Amino acid sequence: MAGKVRVVVVGGGAAGLVAAISAARAGAAVTVVEAGKRVGQKILKTGNGRCNMTNANIQLTDYHNGAAVMPLLEEYPASRVLGFFGELGLLVTEEDEGRIYPFSNTANTVLDVLRDACKWNSVDVRCGQEVAQIDAAQPGYRLTCTNKSTFDADNVIIATGGGTDLLSVFGHTVEPFSPVLCPLKTDTKPLKGLSGVRARVRVTAYADKDATDPRAVRYGEVLFRDYGLSGIVIFDMSREVGAGAVLSLDFLPQLSPSQCSNYFSAKYASLSARVNELFGRTPNFTELMCGCFHTRINDAVVRAAGFKPSEPATAKTLPKIAATAKDFRLDVTGLAETNLAQVTRGGATPWEFDALTLESKLRPGIYAAGETLDIDGRCGGFNLHWAWASGIAAGTAAATKRP
């Protein structure tokens, strides 16, 4: 240990473990200080327990504040991150939309190789130790925990994730923490009877009911809930909008507005002839909508258009039905199930850190990684990619900087 740079990593999550392994492999004497009983517990929950590790198509636009660390994201693409895990013996597989998972299809495998890598690289892991303050020492820093235990370091990597602020004491700007990547609460009247139903739609988000320029547009599956909407598309939307915003659901994104109108007109004309011949009446909305969407979505569209499913449809009502199917509006009232949010927004502004090494520009020897910085990505492996990439960068840099 003599002569080695002493690196203490605060936080044993995804970014912290990778930072520790990278620092140790670069020759440092490394200690991980973790507040929880075990390291890496959040990794086990990612990707519904499957661990969506990264994405084959990483771009700056996938990240909030990504421009602040553009050199790092360019230096550590998915191929380089996967190379790191490949050296640890992990097998991976690529699925739809560039999502990359462990071949085992379980997050436990990812955590297992990280724990083993810590062991094989002599990383000292200390759990049940919550760092309360970091003070300058000669040389380096002294970390004091809530139980009064202390750790001395030449360089410190803070990888505590969202909710913990150890950087403002050094003068860093720290944005308030808030959950993102979670469901959205909406007005529930238009969603009567839809809880548990899924649909593939185009979702357009507007800042408010008067806005005409979209804030975000996504396409994919949404899950209707008692309180509003869930699903990956909605999780992504939660990064862009909050209370007061408006969501527009397009149930027929494959059709233009004119094609949608033509579809309902043609269907009505054909159905009217049959219903009149058999029953001597015009078709009702339930009969008109049969075959379009899930039965409960059919009823919701009809009600949102201002009609009852059981009442007769007429040629004059078709434009309203077509327009509602293309623009089913919901007012957003806030975030839902924030305790289950996959990511936390906020933390130290990344502009105050070196864009490649993540060393503080205000305090030499202090580094940050993962959710400690105010950077978050959309669903699809982008947040874990940031954790891995930032951990590798900070760990490697901290190991080679002498006090």
pLDDT value for 282: 87
Phi and psi based region of residue 370 (left: phi greater than 0; alpha: psi -120 to 50; beta: remaining): left
pLDDT value for 1: 53
pLDDT in tens, 237-261: 999 999 999 999 999 999 999 999 9
Whole-angstrom distance, CA of residue 338 vs CA of residue 326: 30
pLDDT value for 395: 98
Mean pLDDT score across all residues of the chain: 95
CB 62 within 8 A of CB 39: no
- DSSP notation for 86-147: HHTT--EEE-GGGEEEETTSSHHHHHHHHHHHHHHTT-EEEES--EEEEEE-SSSEEEEETT
pLDDT value for 170: 95
Is this structure's pTM higher than 0.75?
yes
Q: In this structure, is the dihedral angle defined by the CA atoms of residues 376, 377, 378 and 383, taken in order, positive or negative?
A: negative
Percentage of the residues of the chain whose pLDDT score is greater than 90: 90
- Can you list the alpha helix ranges (DSSP code H) found in 312-379? 318-326
Rg for the chain, CA atoms, rounded: 26
Pairing type for strands 246-250 and 150-153 reads unpaired
pLDDT in tens, 40-56: 999 998 888 999 999 99
Burial class from Cβ neighbours inside 10 Å (0-12, 13-18, 19+) for residue 279 reads exposed
pLDDT grade for 2, boundaries at 50, 70 and 90:
low
Percentage of the residues of the chain whose pLDDT score is greater than 70: 100
Mean pLDDT of 179-195: 95
pLDDT in tens, 71-126: 999 999 999 999 999 999 999 999 999 999 999 999 999 999 999 999 999 999 99
Residue-range domain boundaries for the chain: 6-177+341-399, 184-254+330-335, 257-326
CB 153 within 8 A of CB 9: no
pLDDT in tens, 266-282: 999 999 999 988 888 98
CB 161 within 8 A of CB 13: yes
Structure tokens at 21: 């392994």
Four-CA torsion 289, 294, 300, 303, nearest 10 degrees: 20
Whether pLDDT at 167 is above 80: yes
Mean pLDDT of 363-372: 97
Whether pLDDT at 162 is above 80: no
Whole-angstrom distance, CA of residue 269 vs CA of residue 386: 55
**Closest to 130 in 3D by CA, of 59, 32, 222:** 32
- DSSP notation for 172-221: --EEEEEEESS-EEE-SGGGTT-TT-EEEEEEEEESSTT--S-SEEEEEE
Phi and psi based region of residue 48 (left: phi greater than 0; alpha: psi -120 to 50; beta: remaining): left
Beta carbons within 8 Å of 141's beta carbon, 6+ residues apart: 8, 134, 135, 152, 153, 154, 155, 156, 365, 366
Mean pLDDT of 364-377: 96
pLDDT value for 172: 97
CA 190 to mean position of chain CA atoms: 27
Whole-angstrom distance, CA of residue 334 vs CA of residue 244: 8
Task: Give the right CATH number for 6-177+341-399 from 3.65.10.10, 3.50.50.60, 3.40.50.300, 2.40.50.140.
Answer: 3.50.50.60
* 3-state secondary structure at position 2: coil
Asked if omega into 139 is within 30° of 0 (cis), the reply is yes
